[in-house]
Structure 1
Amino acid sequence: MDAVFRALADPTRRRLLDELFKEDGQTLSALEERLPMTRFGVMKHLKLLEEAGLVVSKRRGREKLHFLNAVPIRLVHDRWVSKYAEAWAAELSELKRELEKTMEKVFEIYIKTTPERLWHAITDTDMRRKYNFGAIVTSDWTPGSRFEGSGNGSLIFEGENLEVDPPRRLVQSFRALWGEDVKSEGASRVTWEIEAIGDSCRLTVTHDQLREGANNQLYGGWPMVLSGIKTLLESGELLTTPGSLRWMQGNDQYLSEIR
């Protein structure tokens, strides 16, 4: 958390995050045009933001694009803000998601675990329910196979496993079904990438092939999902976010039914 606070303390770096908030996936040249400083200065600030995990860069051909990563900010929210102003913060978070319109969203988090344990957390039905809004996700996790998520007896999302390379990479088509407003968005794509780094893993989730101005429900929950995975694997505990609370409520209902 110290690196995040140090990165946010500088007004220039906050300005860079604001620019990525307005338009995600920008090149260094594009960001340079928006700031009254040299290219070297922008590069220096971007490096510090990447080290803090607030910015993620990805290569697209010859270009290097920079994306705002909301996960560290969500972790700050989960640890401090939610205890005092959950309703107020939720309103701001909803406003942020409403304003963001992009074809691609990238989320990144570091978790102290092994690639095998992280892959298991992503593909195991019971573990997935604990951080993924209580969804019961099932699949045989083979290339070309179907996966689906259900809740309260209804199908809430579905897709196809396009690439399955355990425990490193999982690429899936994704179609939301929980409401008419998201059904009309059609299919998008989600890529899970796991990279071992020392005694930890870097998990990067890229949600792309979204239409311009896509409904923010499609990608707005990823920071909570990734924060939930991190907490579950590192401590065995559940975050008191909607993603975990729905699992606990569903689990309590299930236990009451079988008693």
Structure 2
Amino acid sequence: MDSVFRALADPTRRALLDALFSDDGQTLAALTARHDMTRIAVAKHLRLLEEAGLVVSRRRGREKLHFLNVVPIRLIHDRWVSKYTEGWAAGLVDLKSELEDTMEEVFEIYIRTSPERLWEAITDPAIRARYHFGAGVESDWAPGSAYALKHPGSESPLVEGENLEVDPPRRLVQSMRAVWGETASAAGTSRVTWEIEPVGDSCRLTVIHDQLSPDAPDELYGGWPMILSGLKTWLETGEELTTPGSQMYGDH
């Protein structure tokens, strides 16, 4: 958290985060054009934001795009804000961007655990329910197989889809159809990619939720920071987070 607070202490870096909040997935050139600074100076600030985990960069063809990662802010909320006020959660994760005719949301978090244990936490229904708003995931995890996310004892799934790519304990790609409500169902099928990379005694987990329609409701992707924060807490402490109501499942 110290690196996050240091990164946020600089007004220029806060301005860059604001720019990505307004229009996520920008190139270095686009961000430089918004500020009265050299390209080198902007690149230096972006590097510090990436080191703090507040910005994630991804290559798309010849371009390097920069995305706002709200997970560290979510962790600050869970550690420092939620015990004083419960009303900030919705505002911290109300994030939207438009890339061509679809949206892409990128979330990144570091967890002190092994790739194997992290993979188990993602795919084991009992563990998943500990941090995914009480919903476990059911599948045989074969490539091309179906999966469903549902509450224990319920026959009706909240999410269903197909395991497009299964490469334990490194990468899981799934189609996602939200069926918990009319608004979510109307958004159609999107895609969720889980990428696990060992870093020392920890893992960097990146979740990419893409192929979202430009008018996809926030409830479709707004809960990821809470889910990943809960996953980190569970794996590192064995405790469950008590978070405000689900932003992915509406009233369910």
Q: TM-score range, shorter-chain basis?
A: over 0.9
1:5 aligned onto 2:5: yes
1:120 aligned onto 2:120: yes
Q: What SS does the aligned partner of 1:57 have? A: strand
| Alpha-carbon separation, structure 2, partners of 1:150 and 1:168 | 24
Pairwise CA RMSD of aligned residues?
1.5
Contact 2:114 2:201 in 1 (8 A): yes
Letter in 2 for 1:213: D
Could you give the per-residue CA deviations for residues 40-73 of structure 1, whole angstroms, max 9, x where no partner exists?
A: 0000000000000000001111110000000000
Name 2:179's counterpart in structure 1.
177
Q: 1:110 to 1:65 in 2, by over 3 A?
A: same
Q: Give the CA deviation at 1:165.
A: 0.2
Contact 1:225 1:243 in 2 (8 A): no
Contact 1:101 1:214 in 2 (8 A): no
Q: 1:69 to 1:168 in 2, by over 3 A?
A: same
Could you give the per-residue CA deviations for residues 185-236 of structure 1, whole angstroms, max 9, x where no partner exists?
A: 0000000000011111000000000111311111100001111111111111
Q: Give the CA deviation at 1:92.
A: 2.5
Name 1:231's counterpart in structure 2.
233
Name 1:93's counterpart in structure 2.
92
Q: Give the CA deviation at 1:93.
A: 3.3
Could you give the per-residue CA deviations for residues 10-69 of structure 1, whole angstroms, max 9, x where no partner exists?
A: 000000000000011111011111111000000000000000000000111111000000
TM-score (norm 1): 0.90
Q: What SS does the aligned partner of 1:49 have? A: helix
1 or 2, which has the higher helix percentage?
1
| Alpha-carbon separation, structure 2, partners of 1:74 and 1:243 | 15
Between the two proteins, the alignment pairs up a number of residues equal to 241
Could you give the per-residue CA deviations for residues 126-161 of structure 1, whole angstroms, max 9, x where no partner exists?
A: 000000011121000110000001126221110000
Structure 1, gaps ≥5 residues long: 245-259
Could you give the per-residue CA deviations for residues 150-186 of structure 1, whole angstroms, max 9, x where no partner exists?
A: 1262211100000000000000000101110010000
TM-score (norm 2): 0.92
Name 1:255's counterpart in structure 2.
none
| Alpha-carbon separation, structure 1, partners of 2:245 and 2:229 | 10
| Alpha-carbon separation, structure 1, partners of 2:124 and 2:182 | 28
Contact 2:70 2:92 in 1 (8 A): no
Letter in 2 for 1:227: S
Contact 1:130 1:243 in 2 (8 A): no
1:197 aligned onto 2:191: no
| Alpha-carbon separation, structure 2, partners of 1:71 and 1:223 | 5
Contact 2:127 2:136 in 1 (8 A): no
The sequence identity of aligned pairs, in percent, is 69
Name 2:42's counterpart in structure 1.
42
Q: Give the CA deviation at 1:240.
A: 1.4
Structure 2, gaps ≥5 residues long: 247-252
| Alpha-carbon separation, structure 2, partners of 1:4 and 1:179 | 36
Letter in 1 for 2:29: S
Q: How does 1:11-50 map to 2 (within 5 A)?
A: 11-50=11-50
